[in-house]
Structure 1
């Protein structure tokens, strides 16, 4: 009878030995090795088992017969059994275990699990999934993706296969499949009757323009070719739709195409669209209303004196903290207002009663007034310095020029002081359906889409500077869109930023260990706090 036993040595190590029973007495057939930790011990035990039983022969020749070697017999051990360090093994020496690689397999497993939870496995393309996960972990070029995936324990597809995947993503309409899964996920969490929209620009370091990459308006004052990207999210910031437009396309012309695409994809008729003041164009608002949609957009502060003319006449220009005024604003610039200054009460918008106006809500937070007033003071001081000749005039506000003479525009400064602190909102939702406070709070949810854009630009590095053709750029944005959905879900489940989650989980590395010809993957030890994080990631948050 032959078996494997573990014996504690005098030095505190654990010896693994193959033992044979001969006429009731035990003898050591082979000393496999000594282990000082659990990983090495597991490897030695596995090697010993393999030496006893061989899959091909059923029983391995251990050299028990006709060896011509003397085998010392050991007395029956007592417990605890402490032996001196075993002598060097006879026959073929057992090579010490060694780590052949380490990898963050646990991190990949978690990210792939969230990917599948969101229903993105409907794409059924492992290479696409790998590209998405690599984008989350370490955004890099398509050429360098194999390095990132190798660190996650994955064998990357070839570069040519990765390029073909981008083509499949575009031709196979992967974005439609992902967007449909995103909609289903958002709907399962609750109300999606309100969506948020914003745009950003992504530039290219290219010498020439093409049909998509064009020089256009840039908040960063860049003159490089760029594209305009529109993003639609739910009220929590979870992405629902993404669109790509020519770099010279006005931001106001991107809203309606994205909304119509979203409606057509999901068969939606009624919903509320929230956007910032950049989307405030009469054409946009009329198209949204004609499509049966409600909207809330930011109002330009310069329209406050006209909107609040009746309020100012009857109540003066002084405001108090938290004051809200629900009134009307003309649908077209220069149009006659339905706000009758002869009426003391503020008008309420009704489609039949005020066809030339939208509903306007104005709020006065003191904190905003302090900020606006400080800015106006700085602008006034600069204007005076320009007038005195102490500073050069470079589009300075409140400087009035008449011939070669400059003077302070007192009237413009007074108007600006009068509306300091006011924040306006334009909507077509009647007050009976949505109170003014809810209009304001819904608009302020826009920070979620801004946060998603920041994540896509920083954590996911969305700028597709390695892509050149429209097909490749669209496919790249599909990967970023998918990665954004996974990242937002991770943040939602854990309450931590995606960067913090990656920093916590990436060091939990698995290892591939080779011992005596046996190769085994060993999982990492997981501290209690990291286990809590893993549990949160694997459990959908409430409302999902």
Structure 2
């Protein structure tokens, strides 16, 4: 008898036990189907045990003097003795990993066990506070009352916000060699599952299409690499362009920053914002609204040769530079989106659903015109004029860095966008079910610390060439067990974390060496 691996067309591997008799192969048993190497190894072990058990049944070992039976009995007693000393079994693999990250970033300076547990739960089991209480009870024997959590959030409020931001900034500066250099700012909206508004939760323009739900605006400042530095919360109906300067000014004052560049999207930059940035002596790179430039500048931009990857510079005076670049990829995207929008307008036109109220500046409705007093038509000439701008993107800056560096810095704004995606999809910062300002602010503070821990774990996994995402590592770690033994003679307890063979890819995360500890 032997074990045979069969590679299937689907990419999976079937592990079987077979035997050869007179040149013919006979399958005796299918052990299982594996989809990765760790599963193959496990099935191979099961196959060897299957063969050993079958061999024992076919050719039993004779025990003439009873020594084998005595050894088995001794073995059984020893196992029972060990098992009887088990005091607890914990599925705490996620907690062990996140504890290390939490401490190494420096958040252990916040000496608060409940805060630590709430941060961990946002990463390993993001859910409502009620579900979090059940999670802590079921997995860690933490008997935390829900009302206690709510009272805790009321007290937490802004208690740890400044401390959490300072720890995150100091750690980020250390990673970046002591100099932050570039800061990226953007905002998003966080909605609530309610129809009720108050002074903070207000309906406004929702980036998630939840225009009927009350929301708040969350502003986030991150460094290169997407590491969170600071955040701010504003009323849901506040103009997002008014949120940026206060958080940057406070950030600069608190950490005495010099020689840095603010990078932001065009939607955040009004003429007043730009003027104030310059008045304060800040360097900036922002997305420029090139279609809103003067006629002479627009004519100059459209006359420039469209060569993929090439940048052109226009001196705006006062130290400002307008950089305009063209890429084929952006041109294809602009054309595709416009054609898609126009097709939607054509469908509405055929159905007679375009009315006078449809004519506005929103999206592709800008291509609509009135013909007479009642008829709405699609302006084909305006569509043609718009196509002349395909592939063009402008950047306004008061720096003197090379054009290529301006392009690279601006397009690193995706770091903020990704930070928001992590906060929303992994940490599940929204929807929020809290209704008081204190609890909302406490919830956002917890999520901010969780985001920093997520990014730090991601950085360490990449540096160690683990080859797995944070989500996959934490998902696998959920089945890592720690056994707590009580020694009957001394009364002391011993804990043993037990990564199994299926945890081989993350086993090193449960060693002190991985975290630089001996």
TM bucket (normalised to shorter chain) is: 0.7 to 0.9
8 Å contact from structure 2 (residues 93, 479) kept in 1: no
**After the TM superposition, which residues 474-513 of structure 1 pair with which residues of structure 2 at under 5 Å, given as runs?**
474-495=441-462, 496-512=468-484
Cα offsets for 1:89-140 (capped at 9, x unmatched): xxxxxxx749775322332122111111111111111111111111111112
Q: Does residue 1:197 correspond to 2:218, yes or no?
A: no
Match of 2:26 in 1: none
String of CA shifts for 1:419-460, please: whole Å, max 9, x gaps: 11111111121xxx3111111111111111111111111111
Alignment of 1:138-537 (within 5 A): 138-153=125-140, 155-170=142-157, 173-190=159-176, 191-219=179-207, 220-303=209-292, 306=295, 308-309=297-298, 311=300, 316=303, 318-327=305-314, 348-349=315-316, 354-355=317-318, 358-381=320-343, 383=345, 392=354, 394-395=358-359, 396-402=365-371, 403-429=373-399, 433-463=400-430, 465-495=432-462, 496-512=468-484, 521-527=495-501, 528-534=504-510
> 1:111-170: per-residue Cα shift (whole Å, max 9, x none)?
111111111111111111111111111112223323322454352444344334323322
Structure-1-length-normalised TM-score = 0.72
Closer, same or farther in 2 for the Cα pair 1:12/1:526, shift >3 Å? farther
**Which residue in the other structure is 1:30 paired with?**
none
Select which of 97, 101, 110 maps to 2:97: 110
Deviation at 1:226, TM superposition (A): 0.9
Contact 1:270 1:292 in 2 (8 A): no
**1:97 and 1:515 in contact (8 A); partners too:** no
Over residues 514-537 of structure 1, what are the superposed CA-to-partner deviations in whole Å (9 max), with x where a residue is unaligned?
899998654213443222454699
Aligned counterparts of 2:476 and 2:112: Cα–Cα separation in 1: 28
Taking a change above 3 Å as real, the CA distance of residues 120 and 318 of structure 1, as seen in their structure-2 partners, is same
Q: 1:310 to 1:123 in 2, by over 3 A?
A: same
Are the counterparts in 1 of residues 191 and 210 from structure 2 also a CA contact under 8 Å?
A: no
Alignment partners' CA distance in 1, 2:485 and 2:506 = 24
Are the aligned partners of 1:114 and 1:538 in contact in 2 as well (CA < 8 Å)? no
Alignment correspondent of 1:34: 76
CA distance in structure 2 between the aligned counterparts of 1:475 and 1:155, rounded to whole angstroms: 21
Matched with 1:82 is none
Aligned-partner Cα distance in 1 for 2:212–2:448:
26
Matched-pair contact (CA < 8 Å) for 2:97–2:509: no
Q: 1:254 to 1:317 in 2, by over 3 A?
A: same
Residue 325 of structure 1 aligns to a residue in which SS?
A: strand
CA 376–259 in structure 1, closer or farther in 2 if over 3 Å, else same: same
Asked whether the 8 Å contact 1:214–1:248 carries over to 2, the reply is yes
CA–CA distance in 2 between the matches of 1:370 and 1:317?
A: 18
Please, which of 10, 17, 23 is the counterpart of residue 68 of structure 2? 10
Q: What residue ranges of structure 1 are gaps of 5+ in the alignment? A: 1-7, 17-32, 47-95, 328-347
* Cα RMSD after superposing both structures: 3.0
The CA distance in 1 between the partners of 2:310 and 2:353, in whole Å, is 39
Whole-Å separation in 2 of the counterparts to 1:514 and 1:14? 25
Pair 1:539-2:511 in alignment: no
- Contact between 2:119 and 2:450, CA under 8 Å: does it hold in 1? yes
Distance (whole Å) between structure 1 residues aligned to residue 486 and residue 457 of structure 2: 35
Q: Max radius of gyration: which structure?
A: 1
Q: Do 1:97 and 1:516's aligned partners in 2 also have CA atoms closer than 8 Å?
A: no
Give the 3 Å change call, closer, same or farther, for CA 363–524 of structure 1 in structure 2.
same
2:342 and 2:92 map into 1 onto residues whose CA distance is: 60
Q: Deviations over 1:161-217 (max 9, x none)?
A: 43343233225x201111111110011011312111111111112232111111111
1:388 Cα deviation after fit: 6.4
1:72-151 matches, cutoff 5 A: 97=84, 102-151=89-138
CA distance 1:138–1:387, shift in 2 (3 Å):
closer
Task: Please identify which structure carries the higher helix content.
Answer: 2
User: Deviation of residue 321 (structure 1)?
Assistant: 1.1
Q: Alpha-carbon deviations, 1:280-337, whole Å to 9, x = none?
A: 2111112222222111111235236847446458xx355121121111xxxxxxxxxx
Residues 131/537 of structure 1: CA separation in 2 closer, same or farther (3 Å cut): farther
Hey, what's the Cα distance between the residues in 1 that align with 2:426 and 2:184? 21
CA contact (8 A) 2:136 2:144 kept: no
Instruction: Mark the CA change 1:406 to 1:106 in structure 2 (over 3 Å): closer, same or farther.
Output: closer
Give the gaps of 5 or more residues in structure 2: 1-65, 360-364, 463-467
Distance 1:266 1:375 in 2: 43
Distance 1:156 1:309, change over 3 A: same
Q: What secondary structure does 1:322 align onto?
A: coil
Give the distance between the partners of 1:378 and 1:105, measured in 2 at CA. Answer: 49
